[in-house]
Structure 1
Amino acid sequence: MDFNNTNDAVTRRIKAMTDRIHNLKTHDLYFYNQPVEEMLPGNKVLVRGREMGMYASYSYLGLVGHPRINEAAKKAVDKFGTGTNGVRTLAGTLTIHTELEETIANFKHAEAAITYTSGYATNLTVISTMMGRGDYVFSDKINHASIVDGCLMSGAEFRRFRHNDMEHLEGLLKNAPSDVAKLVIADSVFSMDGDIIDLPKVVELCKKYNAWLMIDEAHSLGVLGEKGTGIEEHFNLYGEIDIKMGTLSKTIPSVGGYVAAKQEIITYLRHSSRAYIFSAALPPAQAAAANEAFKVILDEPWRLERLNQNTKQFIGGLKSLGFDTLLTETAIVPVLCGEDDMAFAMTRECQHNDVFVLPVVSPAVQEGLARLRATVTAAHEPSEIERAMDIIGVAGKKLGLVK
């Protein structure tokens, strides 16, 4: 394809993006896709030969590099090798896959569980397998892109309710035909804002209007609940979620996604969802690492206690400096910047002072709501958090974001 002699829609989209990236790089404002040379103790990373404090990590409990988890992965390689023989249904299922799914089911207080090779694929395949033409899906306005894509792929009637607005959700449910299948789906902790879905009200509405309930726990596993088992524990609403989805690549330092549910649902997904039937199984090391990680969470409760302390310190400190952190109450802490240019400039100032944060800009968030999407973990020391806040504060004052 000759980009110089073509002006179709695809070419224009590609050119618009490459021009935007070129402009950012020219002005030292592009910090995406930076190769991390080494993971260092204490949630630090080596980038371009510089040691930086990591504040963009999803490893909320600091389990990356945990000796027990590493050892489990190594043993799995020695026992099973580095890959599988194909898809799970045919020759790809290993005993470690079965063990992992049993561990997840127990952890999530469910009858059974199924795993997939990515969190994105999990939402895509589960929603599109459960729902179809003529059904109705109701999705929070700021749900993760994988949820949106799964809803669109299903072919069901797609309705989006205003963020965490239960009155709006009820209106949509009330207006849907009473004799159709209905699914309400939401993030537990919203990935860009850090706030929590109003689960008690969602459960009440699903019962009232006879709707299935699916909750994505990508950012609540290991974060919510006294033991870190998630949003059901947080609200003491065990057994009220029909489809408990989560990832194995955030708090759990591996890769993949899962669903925990009643046995009948899991059996259906295992024989009907395309991402399970037509995708190769999780590599043995990753399955073993995830399996051990769930056990470590329960064995080391001090990690969640530390995370909660660090979260309060980080949110409270940034607010005291004059930053708007929206409605977050979790380890995801948005630092509202407004326009995209301000978010890019704030990132530059922080990165130049060895604080690894990244901007989230349009279209990932609404125009005018660009932000630093900062995170804290159990691996951060209070003094390190103080330094990071100092750097962010100095950057905010220099750029006129705060006084």
Structure 2
Amino acid sequence: MSEAINQPAPPLDTAAGAPDLFSRFDPLIQMRADLLASGVEDPFGLVMERVCSPTVAICNGRETILLGTYNYMGMTFDPDVIEAGRQALTDFGSGTTGSRVLNGTYLGHKQVEQALCDFYDMQHAMVFSTGYQANLGIISTIAGKGDYIVLDIDSHASIWDGCKMGDAEVVPFRHNDIEAMEKRLKRIPEGAGKLVVLEGVYSMLGDIAPLRQMIAVAKANGAMVLVDEAHSMGFIGPNGRGVAEDQGVLDQVDFVIGTFSKSVGTVGGFCVSNHPKFEILRLVCRPYVFTASLPPSVVATAYTSIRKLMHAGNKRAHLWENSRTLHKGLKDAGFQLGTQEPQSAIISVIMPDLERGAAMWEALLHEGLYVNLARPPATPANMTLLRCSLCAEHSAEQVGQIIGMFERAGKATGII
């Protein structure tokens, strides 16, 4: 590692008395400098030189098993998906250069929205350019000044940002605590607009929400319900519609948010709903109105992938088998996991601290395995996690290899 990387950056010249607007980041700058000074590779700057399949890439010149992507259903290399994108690129060009409310609605955008309606058996669907924008746009538009949003404290950053943008009163409650949620709902002034925001699967620990009970409480207190199913779409539920479907309450959810960047295998976000006034959101939702629409090749791949996910029961079953096998293997090896039992395709391994977590991450990379290093403040309770995201295309042999890699790296670093 070059000596220059470890040296603190010289102070920027600023006008006399002017504050350094980057000062707020000084603790993070120092944390990163300390981490790199310890000699580990930058865990937040890994480059994938070539991606060979949904489960294998070339990193640092060597073949590496991918266990840190959200490619849950392995659709990124599906031949039909790739061909659909290639054909759309030929037929419609590389981009729309416009918003959906201007020139940016192509045939493919309408087709993918219809595919979402069919997938969820709902009447309306809106597609956004990213999943982040879907939460930002829907939440900020339907809950504004004078309204109240009751949400889980562990909600994704896009949910928090949507709350902030809409200027609603935000009332958080302890993670997955039904009683705490109910208490907060009962304190809201009578007549105020109320929105409860939940997630099917929480991305850090991979745990699921008790949606059946929570939605019952929300409805009893006159609240609308939005559920983000980003990490469960395609995988959880009899038809892959998510945790709400799996718990039998999908028909009670007012808005389902999802993304194309996980099980669908491309990029984009969406909201589906049965609300009779839903279509007006196309004219009043700023992150939808003022953003260029997705390129034709992207919506073509999403459309094809979603249609295939409607008939992906065998893939879902294999992914569950992978999740159970990896969870048991890591638990038996002596690792501390984020959940007692596998609840999703995410299995998080709890590290003692950031320094040893980074060392374990690097040891795994040297073994030929890539996982996510998740650090505070993005993690619950300031934990450092190695987050494993399984894929339906991981073979049983690969899962066995992964367990062996964890055991060797764990012993080498003193984690186990």
TM-score class, shorter: over 0.9
The yes-or-no answer on 1:277 pairing with 2:285 is no
User: Which stretch shows the higher mean deviation, 76-85 or 249-258?
Assistant: 76-85
1:188-214 deviations in Å (ceiling 9; x for gaps)? 100101111111111111211010000
Against the structure 1 CA distance between its residues 126 and 42, is the aligned structure 2 distance closer, same or farther, given a 3 Å change threshold?
closer
AA matched with 1:12: S
TM-score normalized with structure 2 length: 0.93
Structure 1, unmatched stretches of 5+, are: none
Against the structure 1 CA distance between its residues 86 and 183, is the aligned structure 2 distance closer, same or farther, given a 3 Å change threshold?
same
What are the residue-to-residue correspondences of 1:315-354 with 2, within 5 Å? 315-327=327-339, 328-354=342-368
Match of 2:192 among 172, 180, 189: 180
In structure 1, distance between residues paired with 2:382 and 2:10: 35
Cα distance, 1:263 vs structure 2 = 5.3
Match of 1:47 among 38, 48, 59: 59
> Could you say which residue in structure 1 is the equivalent of 2:370?
356
Matched residue SS, 2:75:
coil
1:348-394 deviations in Å (ceiling 9; x for gaps)? 11011111112111111145511101111111111211111112122
Against the structure 1 CA distance between its residues 144 and 265, is the aligned structure 2 distance closer, same or farther, given a 3 Å change threshold?
farther
1:264-297 deviations in Å (ceiling 9; x for gaps)? 3431211110011111111000001000001111
Matched residue SS, 1:10:
coil
The yes-or-no answer on 1:3 pairing with 2:11 is yes
Match of 1:375 among 365, 386, 389: 389
In structure 2, distance between residues paired with 1:13 and 1:362: 16
Match of 1:22 among 30, 33, 45: 33
> Could you say which residue in structure 1 is the equivalent of 2:404?
390
Q: Confirm or deny: 8 A CA contact 2:54 2:75 kept in the other structure.
A: no
In structure 1, distance between residues paired with 2:12 and 2:275: 56
Cα distance, 1:97 vs structure 2 = 0.4
Matched residue SS, 2:310:
helix
In structure 1, distance between residues paired with 2:196 and 2:348: 26
Against the structure 1 CA distance between its residues 2 and 400, is the aligned structure 2 distance closer, same or farther, given a 3 Å change threshold?
closer
What are the residue-to-residue correspondences of 1:4-403 with 2, within 5 Å? 4-5=12-13, 8-26=19-37, 27-41=39-53, 43-262=55-274, 264-327=276-339, 328-366=342-380, 368-402=382-416
In structure 2, distance between residues paired with 1:316 and 1:190: 20
Cα distance, 1:399 vs structure 2 = 2.7
Against the structure 1 CA distance between its residues 317 and 32, is the aligned structure 2 distance closer, same or farther, given a 3 Å change threshold?
same
Cα distance, 1:35 vs structure 2 = 1.8
Matched residue SS, 1:113:
strand
Q: Confirm or deny: 8 A CA contact 2:204 2:380 kept in the other structure.
A: no
Matched residue SS, 1:153:
helix
Q: How many residues align?
A: 402
Q: Confirm or deny: 8 A CA contact 1:114 1:266 kept in the other structure.
A: no
TM-score normalized with structure 1 length: 0.96
AA matched with 2:74: G
Identity %: 31
